[in-house]
Amino acid sequence: MAISRTHHHAFLLPSPGMGHLIPALELAKRLVTHKIIPKLTFFYTPIANSTPSKAETLVLHSAIKDNLFDIIQQHPLDLTSEFDPHASVEDKIAILMHELPLLFVSTISTMNLNPTIIITDFFICQALPLVQNLNLPMFAFSPTNAWLVALGLYTPTLDKQMQGEYVDEIEPISIPGCKPIYPKDMFDMLKDRTHRLYREFIAACEGAALANAIFVNTFHELEPKTLEALGSGGISKVPVYPVGPIIREPSPRSPSPSPSSDDGKRSEIVEWLNRQEEESVVFVSLGSGYTMSGEEIKEMALALELSGNKFVWSLRPSVNKAGHDHYLTAGDETGSTSTVSNVEKSDLFPEEFYRIQSNGIVITDWAPQSEILKHPSIGGFVSHCGWNSVMESVSCGVPIVGLPIFADQMMNATMLVEEVGNAVRVKASPSTNLVQGDELAKAIRKIMDKDDKEGSVIRERAKQLKHLAETAWSDHGSSYSALSKIAL
Ligand code: UDP
C-alpha cells in the first residue's frame, strides 16, 4: 500500500567530507522547504580520533539552527582499527565506504524510528542491499555529475571486459552513448584495480543499481547526451533523474549562504567586491581540502600578477612548504581572512606573493565561496573543478579556468572544455609537473579580456547556463519536478 506524501519520513545518509556534506544538507533542505517530504532525518558521522574542521562544524550548526530537519550524530567511525595508523588515504576511504553502511544499519536497528524512504550518497550505496529487507523506497543521491554515474554503473561491465589497468589503455575508454574517458583523466577510485578501494567502488555502484531511482546533481542542458544514455536503460536499469543544481543557498531561517563564524570578515570581502568594476575580479579556490605548495603559490601569484586582474584567493598553504603532511585545513584556528598586505612575511609564502599585495584579498580561512561567486564584480573562477564548485560557478554564470588536481576533477574539466563550453583548462608542464604562471595568466586573460573572441564565446555560454540552471529549479522546472518523484 502506498504511503501518503504527508506521512513520509526520509532518512538521508551522506558520505563525510565537505564536498559531500554540503550538497547532502542542501538536498535535505530542499526536500523539506519545497514540501516534497514533510519529515527528514539526516545522519551525520564523525570520524574517530579526528576533530571536525571548523567549516564542517559551521555547516552543521547552521543546519541545526535552521531546524528544518533532525540531525542524528552516529558513533564516530574508526578508520584505523583494521590497518596501521599510517594507512593511506585510499585505504581509509575504502574502510569508510565499507563500514559506514554497516554503522547506519546498526543505528537504524537500535533506534525506534520508522523511515518510509531511504536516501544514501551514491558512493556508499553498499547500504542499499543491507536495508532492502525493510521494503522501502530507496534512492541514491550523487553529488557529482551524470558522466561519473554512467562510468560507475558501467564499471562492473568494464571490470569483466577489460584486462589490465584502465589508466594504461592507449585509446579512450568507451561507455555506451557517453563521451569516452581519456585514460589519463580516469577517476581516482578506478586507477588501481588491485586496491580494495576499487572493489568498494564497484560494490557501491552495484548497490546503487538496487535503488528505485538515482538523483544526480546536474541538469538536463548540462549533460543531455549522458542523461539520454542513462535514461535509455542500457547503462542504468533504474531511472536516473537530474535534480541540480543543488548548491548552498540561503535558507528561509538563516540568510547566510556560507558557513562563516565571522560576519565581519564576510562584510569586509563583500564591501571590497562592491568597490570593484563589474566582472573585473578573478576568484581562485581549489576546494575544501587541497593545500598549495610554495611552488604552486608562486606560480599562482605570478599568474595573477601577469593577468593584471584584481582577485579574491581562497588559499590554504602547506605549512611545511615541500609536502602535505602538516597543513592548514579549511577552517583551522590558524586560518584568517586577510588582505594580502596583511599577510605577515613568512617562509610559507614566496616573494611573488607579496608583489601582488595591493591587488586583492586572500582568505586562509573558509571563504564564503557561493556568495563570492554570485557577486557581479566576479568575472572568472580559477577552480580545481570539484563538482560543487562547478555547479556554483554554472549557477552564477561565471566562466572557469580549470586546474584539476585529482579524484573526478580531470573528467569534470574535460567535460566543461569539450562538451559544455564554459571553461578553459590549463595543464601542468610535463617537465616540472607544475602549472606555469605564464600559461595560467594566458588562460585567465582569455576568460577575463572582453576583446578575446574565444573568451567571449565561453563567457556567453556561462551566462546562458546560468539562465538554464535557474529554469531547472524554477517552480515546475525539470530538476524540481524530478526530485518531487521521490514521494510519489
Ligand atoms: N568551499 C567554500 N569555501 C572554501 C572552500 C570551499 O565554501 O574556502 C565550498 C565550495 O563552495 C563547495 C565545497 O566547499 O561547495 C567544495 O566542494 P567541491 O566539490 O568543489 O570540491 P572538494 O572540496 O570536494 O574538492
Q: What is the 3-state secondary structure (H, E, C) of 249-303?
A: CCCCCCCCCCCCCCHHHHHHHHHHHHCCCCCCEEEEECCCCCCECHHHHHHHHHH
pLDDT of residue 31: 96
Distance CA 462, CA 474 (A): 19
187-233 pLDDT, tens digit each: 999 999 999 999 999 999 999 999 999 999 999 999 999 999 999 87
The pLDDT of residue 332 is 34
- State the pLDDT at residue 184: 96
Lowest-confidence pick of 27-36, 84-93, 240-249 = 84-93
- The residues lining ligand 1, judged by C-beta closer than 6 Å to any ligand atom, are 18-19, 22, 248, 258, 285, 287-289, 314, 330, 366-367, 369-370, 386-389, 392
Read off the pTM.
Answer: 0.93
Ligand 1 atom closest to residue 144's alpha carbon, by position in its atom list: 19
What's the rounded mean pLDDT across residues 435-456?
A: 97
Packing angle of the helix pair 453-472, 387-396 (nearest 10 deg): 90
Does the pLDDT at position 9 exceed 60? yes
Query: Measured in angstroms, how far is the CA atom of residue 387 from the centroid of ligand 1?
Result: 9
Higher pLDDT among residues 307 and 259, named by residue: 307
* Range 80-83 contact pairs with CB under 8 angstroms and sequence separation of 24 or more: 80/48, 80/49
Percent of the chain at pLDDT > 90 equals: 75
Q: Which set of grid coordinates corresponds to residue 283?
A: 576568484
Q: Classify the phi-psi angles of 407: left when phi > 0, otherwise alpha if psi is within -120 to 50, otherwise beta.
A: left
2 Cβ contact list (under 8 Å, min separation 6): none
| DSSP SS3 for 425 | strand
- Write out the three cell numbers for 128: 542499499
Query: Cβ neighbours of residue 217 under 8 Å, at least 6 residues apart?
Result: 23, 141, 142, 143, 144, 145, 243, 244, 245, 246, 387, 388, 391
Question: Does this complex have an ipTM over 0.95?
Answer: yes
Res. 343 pLDDT band, cuts 50 70 90: low
Distance in Å, CA 138 to ligand 1 centroid = 27
- Catalogue the active-site residues: 20, 121
pLDDT higher than threshold 90 for residue 289: no
Nearest-atom index, ligand 1, CA of 316: 8
Tell me the helices (H) and strands (E) count for the chain, helix number first.
Answer: 16, 14
Beta bridge partners of 211: none
Quick one: pLDDT at residue 353?
80
Please, what's the b/e burial string for 311-327 (b: 16 or more CB within 10 A of its CB; e: otherwise)? bbbbbbbbbeeeeeeeb
Does position 320 have pLDDT exceeding 50, yes or no? no
pLDDT band at 476 (very low <50, low <70, confident <90, very high): confident
Cα(19) to centroid(ligand 1), Å = 6
| pLDDT tops 50 at residue 261 | no
- Cα separation, 308 vs 89, whole angstroms: 38
Q: Which ligand 1 atom is the nearest neighbour of the CA of 389?
A: 20
pLDDT at 329 over 80: no
Side chain identity at residue 361, one-letter code: I
Residue with the smallest CA separation from ligand 1 atom 24 is 19
Q: Which residue(s) pair with 77 in the sheet?
A: 47
Neighbours of 291 (CB within 10 A): 20
Residue 378 dihedral angles phi and psi, to the nearest 5° = -80, 125
